[in-house]
Amino acid sequence: MTSPSPAYIEEALVLAQDRLTNDVYRLTVEATTGGSPGQFYMVRAWDREPLLARPISIHDADEGTISLLYQVRGRGTELLARLHKGDTVALMGPLGNGFTMENLHGRVGIVTGGIGIAPMFYLASTLPARSATVIAGFKSTPYAVAALLSLGVEVYVATEDGCEGTRGFCTDIFDPAAFDVVVTCGPTPMMARVAQLCAQAGVPCQASLEAHMACGIGACLGCTFPTTSGYKRVCADGPVFDAAEVIWHA
Amino acid sequence: MPETMLCGVTLKNPVIAASGTFGFGAEYGRLFDVSKLGAICTKGLTLHPREGNPGMRVWETPAGMMNSIGLQNPGIPAFLEHELPRMRTMGTAIIANVGGGDLEEYVEGVRLLSEAESIDIIELNISCPNVHEGGMAFGIKANVAAGVVAAVRRVCRKPLMVKLSPNAENIADMAVACERAGADAVSLVNAFNALAIDIHARKPVFDNVTAGLSGPAIKPIALRMVWEAAHAVRIPVVGIGGITTWQDAVEFLMAGATAVQVGTATFVKPTAMLDIVDGLERYCAAEPLTRL
Ligand SMILES: Cc1cc2nc3c(=O)[nH]c(=O)nc-3n(C[C@H](O)[C@H](O)[C@H](O)COP(=O)(O)OP(=O)(O)OC[C@H]3O[C@@H](n4cnc5c(N)ncnc54)[C@H](O)[C@@H]3O)c2cc1C
Ligand SMILES: Cc1cc2nc3c(=O)[nH]c(=O)nc-3n(C[C@H](O)[C@H](O)[C@H](O)COP(=O)(O)O)c2cc1C
Ligand code: FES
């Protein structure tokens, strides 16, 4: 598969920064480089420290803008959260393979944990209307759900503290038998469980994996994940893999 | 910056992509014109394919990063067949970086690479653990390193550059030992042996426990080592370690380096090497580069 070449944009203009919850933000920047659902950008909005750029998925994109949905975790995401309209960020992308859209037909189940919901708005808005159902798990207050509902997507929510939806994990309310194909993104143990449920039910599953990255473009071999055909680069061979090929408990 | 002669090979400029940070050139070739670089060092190659290390492989540190890739590579025969033909079209010099687990693997690897016409220089990575010596790297003791260099020299028909480990007992002695054993140049430094601990998991971050530190954090130490090596040998010295800006590159050239390699800085800004080439050009047009 040959995807369009990524670009490096040293100064992309910030158009908006919206705070969705206590620690989840949506950043909208001016860029024409777009990408497909499941692809990501390496993002950097500071001078020397921290050293490396951060991988962030495309939350939404059109001809002139890209938006990113992110959760503050450490120093890098904290600095992203300080950006204001009119500031600039450095972007490299679009990167990675994205979801295999041609395999997503029929009833598509989208199972997410926490900020793993980030790439799913763009995915759901690209799928045919009413074909997708999102099953989203959160620690506490949900986010990004209203936008999905506005697309006409069905959304089921589970929260660990029970503040909304069903109390528990998204995997507690996920039944693979209801779907023809499943897509998942979230913490690795959660995705491993989704992959296991799908395998038992004989439902194909695409998983968007996470790994620490240095280059983001396939050159350093720093982001590998074990698969049935050896170590694969999450940034260049992924981040989306056939869940059946991933060795989850290496 | 004027052309640079490095052991008989003419480079467009003295800025070289460091091994392991630039793959075989194709990935960054999608992003910028790699023919503007002085040369590209390949990912570390071994005779036999290597899977690489399990577990965490890269970890950010203050002003640096640690890596434990484990020399993942397709093996020299597959490199020659699949990667080299593509690299040859990139319009820049090719430096094949080679590692090994024992003497035989080094020698046979270098022999194969020597036969490939489009390789300009062979860079011998002696930071690899010696499987017969309890994993102690070849590049720690000068007499062990000299043994590998001499053995490789006998089969190497290309200019031979030996890449020194900063973990060497004494960097000047090491450079001299390599020169005497037949090296045409030395490049330094490789990554520093370092440790990170995950305090929540209560165990080392890396499965291999230690890993290599690179990036701006190592620059002043690398610069000191380049200075010491350059004052100890007559062969060319290539400076490596944390070079991020053209000013950093000028420092290494002033310390006695003939050329520089840039690694981690490319992760910080993919076009960092192009900025360094431009900066050196402007600097050299304005004033002569003096070697201290
Ligand atoms: C392909 C991909 C897409 C992603 N998309 C999103 C997204 O859309 N929204 C979002 O909020 N997060 C996303 N992440 C996770 C995000 O990259 C990390 O949360 C972020 O790098 C943390 O940086 P920090 O400086 O805040 O944290 P720190 O912990 O201070 O970061 C230290 C280092 O570890 C790395 N790191 C830490 N956690 C992760 C992680 N979970 N995954 C990868 N690297 C990590 C950092 O990149 C940095 O190099 C994605 C990760 C990947 C691999
Ligand atoms: C991810 C990564 C992989 C590396 N792989 C190799 C390698 O295969 N062979 C080698 O000789 N050096 C390797 N190095 C070392 C670099 O070539 C360089 O010597 C070191 O990183 C110091 O330079 P820097 O601070 O500019 O990165 C690697 C470094 C990094 C960061
Ligand atoms: S981050 Fe460098 S290969 Fe994936």
pLDDT at residue A1, as a whole number: 42
pLDDT at residue B135, as a whole number: 75
Tens-place pLDDT, residues B7-23? 999 999 999 999 999 99
Does residue A106 share a domain with residue A84? Answer: no
Kindly give the distance from the C-alpha atom of residue B253 to the centroid of ligand 3, in angstroms, as a whole number.
Answer: 30
Tens-place pLDDT, residues A180-190? 999 999 999 99
Q: Under a CB-based contact definition with an 8 Å cutoff, are residues B183 and B235 in contact?
A: yes
Residues of chain A with C-beta less than 8 angstroms from the C-beta of B54: 226, 250
Best to test chain B binding among A9, A52, A88 (most B CBs inside 10 Å): A52
Q: End of a domain among A95, A112, A135?
A: A95
Q: Per mean pLDDT, which range of B84-98, B117-131, B183-197 is the poorest?
A: B117-131
Please check the confidence at residue B291 and state whether its pLDDT lies above 80. no
Confidence at A194, pLDDT banded by 50, 70, 90? very high
A and B: number of Cβ contacts within 8 A: 96
Other residues' Cβ atoms within 10 Å of the Cβ of residue A123: 26
Mean pLDDT, range B27-33, rounded to an integer: 96
Note the ligand closest to the C-alpha atom of A114: 1
Indicate yes or no: CB of A217 within 8 angstroms of CB of B32: no
Q: Relative to the CA of B65, which ligand 1 atom is closest?
A: 49
Indicate yes or no: CB of B58 within 8 angstroms of CB of A48: no
The CATH code of the domain that includes A180 is 3.40.50.80
Q: End of a domain among A37, A63, A95?
A: A95
Of residues B289, B243, B288, the one with CA closest to residue B264: B243
pLDDT at residue B131, as a whole number: 77
In a domain, A250, yes or no: no
Residue A75's domain spans which residues? 8-95
Confidence at B132, pLDDT banded by 50, 70, 90? confident
pLDDT at residue B1, as a whole number: 58
The CATH code of the domain that includes A72 is 2.40.30.10
Other residues' Cβ atoms within 10 Å of the Cβ of residue A226: 17
How far apart are alpha carbons B21 and A221 in whole angstroms?
Answer: 9
In a domain, A61, yes or no: yes
Q: How many CA atoms lie within 13 A of A118 on its CB side?
A: 27
Of residues B147, B156, B225, B148, the one with CA closest to residue B184: B156
Kindly give the distance from the C-alpha atom of residue B21 to the centroid of ligand 2, in angstroms, as a whole number.
Answer: 6
How far apart are alpha carbons A241 and A207 in whole angstroms?
Answer: 5
Indicate yes or no: CB of B23 within 8 angstroms of CB of A219: yes
B110: closest CA of chain A, how far (Å): 23
Does residue A119 share a domain with residue A16? Answer: no
Indicate yes or no: CB of B268 within 8 angstroms of CB of A51: yes
Domain B4-52+72-191+215-286 has CATH 3.20.20.70: yes
Does residue A142 share a domain with residue A45? Answer: no
Q: Relative to the CA of B189, which ligand 2 atom is closest?
A: 19
Tens-place pLDDT, residues B139-153? 999 999 999 999 999
Which percentage of chain B shows pLDDT scores above 90? 92
Residues 6+ apart with CB under 8 A from B142: B168, B169, B170, B173, B174, B176, B177
Kindly give the distance from the C-alpha atom of residue A2 to the centroid of ligand 3, in angstroms, as a whole number.
Answer: 18
Q: End of a domain among A63, A95, A127?
A: A95
In a domain, A128, yes or no: yes
How far apart are alpha carbons B247 and B279 in whole angstroms?
Answer: 8
Confidence at A220, pLDDT banded by 50, 70, 90? very high
Confidence at A110, pLDDT banded by 50, 70, 90? very high
Amino acid at A199: A
Tens-place pLDDT, residues A8-60? 999 999 999 999 999 999 999 999 999 999 999 999 999 999 999 999 999 99
pLDDT at residue B292, as a whole number: 64
How far apart are alpha carbons A1 and B270 in whole angstroms?
Answer: 23
DSSP one-letter string for B52-108: --SS--EEEETTEEEE-----B--HHHIIIIIHHHHHTTSSEEEEEE--SSHHHHHH
Q: How many CA atoms lie within 13 A of B206 on its CB side?
A: 23
Q: Which pTM was predicted?
A: 0.96
